[in-house]
Amino acid sequence: MPIRSLIPPKSDRAGGFTLVELLVVIGIIAVLVAILLPALAAARRQAAAAKCAAQLREIGNAFQMYAMENKGWYPPAQLVPASGRIYNVYGTDFPQQGLGAYWFHFLQKYVTKTKLGYASSTAQDRAAARATVLWGCPAWEGYNSSAYIGGINVNQPGFGMNVWPTHQADYPTPPTNHPPAKTDRVFIQDWGDPANQIGNFFRQTTWGKRGAERALVADSLFWEIEAQRVPAPDGMVGQALATNTTAAGNAAFGTGNTLVDCYRHGKYPPPQDAGSHKLLGGLVNFNMLYADGHVSHPVDRRDAFRALRMRYPE
């Protein structure tokens, strides 16, 4: 009588997975990815917003250091010399290629040895400039343009400076409520020509009036964050739809808007037309540096008007 082996017969399976089992595993992975991706995207946005806020605090410190070295004066948002005049900023003569010095040129000494804007002349210089806190928002990619070395508009760093430091709730008074007197502006044109100059330098103490409420620098689609007329309660319009090639400017925003990039760290609404986003459907989240040095994270577009015009609405 044959002796039966105590070893069980080998299975035809070699320890692999069946097709059904593989499909189940793949399905589980797909579900987990679908669950985790939004959380990872939200975490990246939060990290970018936190880094952006830290860069703005450093910019606030640079303003303070500039004031300490300049007898209490803050730099202008931009300074354009009159024809035939030159304004030197740390060894660079302006105008450069027809453009004046921007606020970040006046602050560069306190944060980097890199030349900024048109003052940087090579692709390597431009790349180094974009690594500074003055181009510090990781959520900002810049405007592409073949007209610039390195392919990025070097005068649009993703942060903008307030150009009206004298706004108060009752100034300028309605109905002629924007702009205030041109002498109140920190965007200086025709510097060196007293008869035609528009705009001035302003002292830190002027900026400091209601400084915990007054915007100094914020996430922006332009180098300035000028506020247009404060809209009526139901008059706010959609934020400009900036492309990656054309820099946004005053003409893109119009009455009832600002130049603040209110959706920088949130979610942009869908397009309304070729020039603007819809008013609804987005998630407002942006960073703003105030004149007293603190940074906040507003989640309401009206806060941009309150910080620039010191009131909302008209």
Q: What are the tens digits of pLDDT across the range 202-212?
A: 999 999 999 99
**Domains contained in the chain, number:** 1
**Partners of 258 in beta bridges:** 227
In a domain, 11, yes or no: no
Mean pLDDT of the chain: 85
Range of the domain at 151: 34-309
Query: Which tops the pLDDT comparison, 145 or 233?
Result: 145
In a domain, 24, yes or no: no
In a domain, 17, yes or no: no
**pLDDT at 234 exceeding the cut of 70:** no
In a domain, 12, yes or no: no
CB 174 within 8 A of CB 94: no
In a domain, 29, yes or no: no
**Neighbour-count burial for 86-96, b at 16+ CB within 10 Å, e otherwise:** ebebeebebbb
Kindly report the pTM of this predicted structure: 0.85
Query: Which tops the pLDDT comparison, 245 or 119?
Result: 245
Amino acid at 77: A
Taking the alpha carbons at both ends of the chain, their separation in whole angstroms is: 107
Q: In the numeric block, which tokens belong to residue 257?
A: 């808007």
**pLDDT at 108 exceeding the cut of 80:** yes
d(CA 188, CA 163): 10
**pLDDT at 58 exceeding the cut of 80:** yes
